[in-house]
Structure 1
């Protein structure tokens, strides 16, 4: 007889060596397992060690979660994240149920609990992402933007049945870091020439130097407002130097390394473009591109090409054993995808951005 499924809060341990850390460690393992099952890319999910600092620091984002237990086994998890700005309306969900436990009621029970949690905290916009292999299927889903398409899967069937709508498709691309870097150097040189003397390249490793924190805060705040987001209603973020310090501490935890390549607008002194590359403690692992943005009023000067190429070249020296870098971009963000394609990124999976208004 199958044991009943119970939904319990995800405990956040002080450390991963704590006796109460088993649930959090299992949550980290579930992320890797589900990413592997869905798209064959387990490293898309961060490890428990990489996530724990963000769960401890609730200043900017509150992370909550629940585990589905069946006897002594953990058969699924869901997390709900809340931006902490005043007036924030959105709750971001992540549902993790392995294939062997799908259609057993686990996914429904977890989603019910997550939606109830969001309502109780006064959020009326729910957002969740689905992962997809780069394949054609009998039923392909197209977002309202008209850009991109993804194959229907069990998760999307569940979301559609519960009133979520596909708002955007993102492309997950990878670059072979072992390829000849000469084309990157040539492309960077051409882009710098095109940008002209009004723009100067700057680079650093996190933590951000004190003299750059205010300017970096300004450009980080624009990722929500300036990046294409379809009809996803993201809450505006409030950034200052103190928030940069907090973010730096989270991103450099657990032995992670982050490199930033940015462009400063010389006449104003503002940082107007940036690119971030991150790798975990295993320096031979997959590199992840985090934020990349060119401020809207400075587009058309090849600044995106500059920060991407400069950081990839810099990365060859910082993490020479990493063989590939992974990045996500909205399908309608053709300028950034054009850059990626020109320097050798190829699609390996896709993500669907789903939204439901309560």
Structure 2
């Protein structure tokens, strides 16, 4: 092919996946999973089209745009761009999806250029993109600005590096076997509760969040954008209230997904100060994804991270007995959380690189 054979058109967001206009969105879900499989052998890292659609239909908190590259009428790649909707947001988050057999013909360059143009046109001054990497050594290893972790160079990392992006951070993707002996989890939970003491109480629920807990949950969710280690990545401080909690949970559960939440409440103040979320798709089998996990800065050092992790993993075994593994991402510099993961049986299966470019 030549670049003249390439067309790029917007991705249509259908009302449902059964609509006449939904074929491209279904293809987007399939391509997303294919890319994860090709890059790290883990297709279930990516949500399918049904899981993706509610997020794309609701732009109150994040606006998602997509573009499809075609060659001779066939889909040859896609790019998506997400724009946080806070007034102070500067960044556009890009996901470049070009399969291996289409790489090297200019498709990836054209899609990345289109994404950058969209970001500039919408007044964004920072571009962000994530790369996936296998847990292996290579001739050229990349070290992020944080100095924590390293990943092997890939065609994607070579491309975005050549386009002026800087590797800011490395995240570890770990998995734990849900069919392993739960006794170590119970022991770790008992020990952590003893350390935390009576000032901290465990709360558990399955989304949607009970109305009386929404305000407290909103407050601790807001801290994830500011308290979690993120290197020099330009993340806006998210603004949360009860309505945003309701919107988020409608998106998360809209495709039949189930989300379990375990939180810790500081008894003297009533504040929620730690939480952990586990999510699985409608089929209730296979990979469980850990979403948010956070301990508020002012309450660290009381084993609250161990409490929410272990309590939710134990609860999940009862809720989802057919689930097989839990997958989670953590910054390599987040040693306290990695220590918890390793203690309860998580092992590394892949890595992600967080890249940034200032326009």
Measured after TM superposition, the shift of residue 352 of structure 1 is 0.1
The answer to which of 63-72 and 30-39 deviates more is 63-72
Distance 1:338 1:73 in 2: 46
**For residues 132-281 of structure 1, what are the structure 2 equivalents within 5 Å?**
132-281=133-282
Measured after TM superposition, the shift of residue 188 of structure 1 is 0.2
Measured after TM superposition, the shift of residue 165 of structure 1 is 0.1
Instruction: Specify the alignment match of 1:93 in structure 2.
Output: 94
**For residues 1-358 of structure 1, what are the structure 2 equivalents within 5 Å?**
4-358=5-359
Q: What's the TM-score once normalised by structure 1's chain length? A: 0.99
Measured after TM superposition, the shift of residue 72 of structure 1 is 2.2
> SS at 1:20's partner residue?
coil
> SS at 2:289's partner residue?
strand
In structure 1, stretches of 5+ residues that fail to align are: none
Distance 2:223 2:296 in 1: 7
Large movers: runs of 4+ above 3 Å: none
- Superposed CA deviations along residues 227-267 of structure 1, whole A, max 9, x for unmatched, are 00011010110000000000010011111000000000001
Q: What is the number of residues matched between the two proteins?
A: 358
Q: Give the alignment's Cα RMSD to 1 decimal.
A: 0.8
Distance 2:27 2:252 in 1: 21
- Superposed CA deviations along residues 49-84 of structure 1, whole A, max 9, x for unmatched, are 001011111100000010001122101000000010
- Superposed CA deviations along residues 253-291 of structure 1, whole A, max 9, x for unmatched, are 111000000000001100000000000011112100000
Distance 2:72 2:12 in 1: 17
> SS at 2:38's partner residue?
helix
In structure 2, stretches of 5+ residues that fail to align are: none
> SS at 2:273's partner residue?
strand
